[in-house]
Amino acid sequence: PGVSQKIKIRDDKFAFLDDVQVQSKLIQFTDGQQTHVSFYLPQMHCSSCLWLLENIHKIHSGVVQSKVNFVKKEVFIVFTNEKTSLRKIVETLTSIGYEPHISLHELDGNSVKKIDHTRLYKVGIAGFCFANIMMMSFPEYFSSNGKVEENIREVIKYLTVAFSLPVIFYCAQEFFVTAWKGLINKFLNIDAPIALAIVITFGRSLYEIFSGTGVGYLDSMSGIVFFMLLGRILQDKTYQSISFDRDYKSFFPIAVNVLKDNKIIPTTIDNIKVNDVVQIYNNELIPVDGILSKGKASIDYSFVSGESLPVTKDVGEIIYAGGKQLEGLLELIVVKEVSQSYLTNLWNKDVFNKEDNNDNSFIHTLSKYFTFIVLGIAAIAAAYWYSLHQYNLMWNTITTVLIVACPCALLLSSTFTNGNILRILSKNKFYLRHPNVIENLSKINHLVFDKTGTITEQKNLRVQFDGNNISEDDKINIASLMAQSSHPLSKAIVDYLNIQNLKSIQNFKVVQGSGIEGWIDDKYYKMGSPEFVCKTNDNKERSSSVFVMVDHVIL
């Protein structure tokens, strides 16, 4: 923020956007002169981003208009076809640090962000009806001795009933559906007592209103539905903004360069066939399984296996999809198409595809006992008044217990709390797959860290040298040899020595987990753990130590 940022991008990185088929799936409207398009920009985070993106026309003259939807992290752009193209617009956004998230999801017609407008409509209708029923209940609440003029009472009576009908038959629909599904599966979820409370409240209100024995509780019923829907929307909105419910397509590149007849042809990955020769550039994800035919491969498989150390591959070896190339340009001969590759199979395993089971929540478990207890209290009270032949009091007791003991507070506290926790955790870069994970986190009693090197913050390593003075030549040679290793300690030492012109070294050997050795200027260098360099384990240092030996002399 506050720094002019121009990122250099590879010339043909977005060449696939020149493909008419790809364009047709991304463009929302075009008349041949102007084109409308929307992009999802996950990097958008503050008002500075908003200002910059809405003034993109000052950077690129071909842009006519740009509007930002900050909540959805989307930018809507109108551009002139004569002055620019879809590819140039994307390149401009990328060059200023906002590379659009273009995945196969968009090309399949699926948006990364999905908003359930139905629930928004329900909240709007419930809120409107709730407010009006409350307003029309005021005369009854505030009139002296409960007296309201009869013709006014009649009008208000029918109006409140009319306003309550959309609430119970449309807005509260999801509570009844979920409760019914739970009962069919012999499970009493939290929606069951809520649905029961809504029905009892509605039924009792109709009875009181039309029998002339009271004014009912239609304001309470509509208020319950409104606030519970509002709580669920908050949780859904929070979860939606950090949702990772995407399939493997979201992580693959849209297209790669395919070599045909000595020509480079940008090709979408779903059109890549077996035996095609594809090019993979630095820091690009490999979308297909292929045999390395050209280039120096240093593959980071952490996305697939969690292994942080890159794997070196030689020409002729197979490279699996999901790895990221850390060196220069590679050429691969495709052996499996994208849909059959290892990463696709891994991502499509049943454990990832099963529906999230919300029935494990302690809220549902608690509501089950809660419902039985409430029904028990209502039954005991009803039996007591029934034995005294006080039938009116019996029905009063049943409805009062069920209405007053409505577990909506339990559900409201759950949804608002979960939504807020998700928001707080996501601000601290901790993303949960589902709100139910919050409850599972509370059951954790041990944390097990595997591979301490993975969680080491390399930039915060402080290097201290103990030993004999090292000549400048040796410093250059040590830094040059250490630069061949990808180990965090090796990188820290290279940074510490701060040698500008490193030597090109051919004769060296990296021993995984131990160290590195090699010949430079007719000198033998060996660096690494005490066991590797000194053949001993007498290192009493608490911190990590790297020993340096030159021509069998420990420095």
The answer to whether residue 3 scores a pLDDT higher than 70 is no
Nearest in space to 102 (alpha carbons), one of 329, 270, 255: 255
How far is Cα 467 from Cα 533, in angstroms, rounded to an integer? 15
> Is the four-CA dihedral 119, 124, 232, 138 of positive or negative sign?
negative
Q: What is the pLDDT of residue 372?
A: 81
The answer to whether residue 367 scores a pLDDT higher than 90 is no
- Using one digit for the tens of pLDDT, what is the confidence trace for 234-278? 766 665 655 544 444 556 677 788 888 888 888 877 788 888 999
- Residues 417-441, mean pLDDT to the nearest whole number: 77
- Secondary structure element (H or E) that encloses residue 291, with its range: strand 289-294
Between 31 and 4, residue with greater pLDDT: 31
Contacts of 349 (CB under 8 A, 6+ apart): none
The answer to whether residue 42 scores a pLDDT higher than 60 is yes
Phi-psi region of 2 (alpha: psi -120 to 50; beta: other; left: phi over 0): left
Question: How far is the CA of 73 from the CAs of 98, 112, 184, in angstroms?
Answer: 11, 11, 40
Place of tokens 């034995």: 387
Name the packing angle between helices 362-387 and 391-404 (round to 10°).
170
507: phi then psi, degrees, rounded to nearest 5:
-95, 85
Encoding tokens for residue 53?
A: 């993106």
Contact assessment for residue 182 and residue 357, using Cβ atoms and an 8 Å cutoff = no
The answer to whether residue 48 scores a pLDDT higher than 60 is yes
Q: What is the pLDDT of residue 406?
A: 67
Nearest in space to 347 (alpha carbons), one of 435, 287, 410: 287
The answer to whether residue 107 scores a pLDDT higher than 60 is no
Contacts of 455 (CB under 8 A, 6+ apart): 449
pTM score of the predicted model: 0.47
How far is Cα 67 from Cα 161, in angstroms, rounded to an integer? 43
Q: What is the pLDDT of residue 364?
A: 63
- Using one digit for the tens of pLDDT, what is the confidence trace for 374-392? 888 989 999 999 999 888 7
The 8-class DSSP code of residue 168 comes to I
What one-letter code names the amino acid at 371? T
Q: What is the pLDDT of residue 171?
A: 92
How far is Cα 379 from Cα 382, in angstroms, rounded to an integer? 5
- Mean pLDDT in the chain? 79
CA dihedral 360, 366, 371, 373 (to 10 degrees): 140
Q: ∠447-309-464 over CA atoms, to 5°?
A: 80
> Contacts for 414-419 with beta carbons within 8 Å, 24 or more apart?
414/190, 414/231, 414/361, 414/363, 415/228, 415/231, 415/232, 415/234, 415/235, 416/231, 416/234, 416/235, 418/235, 419/231, 419/234, 419/235, 419/237, 419/238, 419/239
Q: ∠516-518-519 over CA atoms, to 5°?
A: 160
Place of tokens 């507070």: 409
- Using one digit for the tens of pLDDT, what is the confidence trace for 290-311? 899 988 888 887 766 666 678 8
pLDDT band at residue 162, thresholds of 50, 70 and 90?
A: very high
Q: What is the pLDDT of residue 250?
A: 56
Between 174 and 327, residue with greater pLDDT: 174
How far is Cα 14 from Cα 32, in angstroms, rounded to an integer? 21
How far is Cα 268 from Cα 16, in angstroms, rounded to an integer? 7
- Residues 393-411, mean pLDDT to the nearest whole number: 75
Q: What is the pLDDT of residue 458?
A: 55
Q: What pairing do the DSSP bridges indicate for beta strands 263-268 and 297-300? A: unpaired
The answer to whether residue 169 scores a pLDDT higher than 90 is yes
Q: What is the pLDDT of residue 105?
A: 55
- Residues 493-498, mean pLDDT to the nearest whole number: 87
Longest dimension (CA), the chain: 111
Phi-psi region of 146 (alpha: psi -120 to 50; beta: other; left: phi over 0): left
Q: ∠518-519-522 over CA atoms, to 5°?
A: 165
How far is Cα 298 from Cα 323, in angstroms, rounded to an integer? 9
pLDDT band at residue 283, thresholds of 50, 70 and 90?
A: confident
Question: How far is the CA of 13 from the CAs of 41, 334, 484, in angstroms?
Answer: 17, 20, 28
Contacts of 152 (CB under 8 A, 6+ apart): 139
Encoding tokens for residue 430?
A: 């901790």
Report how far Cα 363 is from the mean position of its chain's Cα atoms. 24
- Secondary structure element (H or E) that encloses residue 77, with its range: strand 74-80
Contact assessment for residue 18 and residue 87, using Cβ atoms and an 8 Å cutoff = yes
How far is Cα 410 from Cα 373, in angstroms, rounded to an integer? 15
Contacts of 307 (CB under 8 A, 6+ apart): 301, 451
Q: What is the pLDDT of residue 510?
A: 84
> Contacts for 436-440 with beta carbons within 8 Å, 24 or more apart?
436/356, 436/357, 436/358, 436/360, 436/361, 439/360, 439/361, 439/362
How far is Cα 508 from Cα 474, in angstroms, rounded to an integer? 16
pLDDT band at residue 341, thresholds of 50, 70 and 90?
A: low
Contact assessment for residue 269 and residue 252, using Cβ atoms and an 8 Å cutoff = yes
Most confident residue range from 130-134, 177-181, 421-425, 437-441: 130-134
Total number of residues shown for the chain: 555
Radius of gyration of the chain (CA): 33
The answer to whether residue 5 scores a pLDDT higher than 60 is no
Q: What pairing do the DSSP bridges indicate for beta strands 289-294 and 508-511? A: unpaired
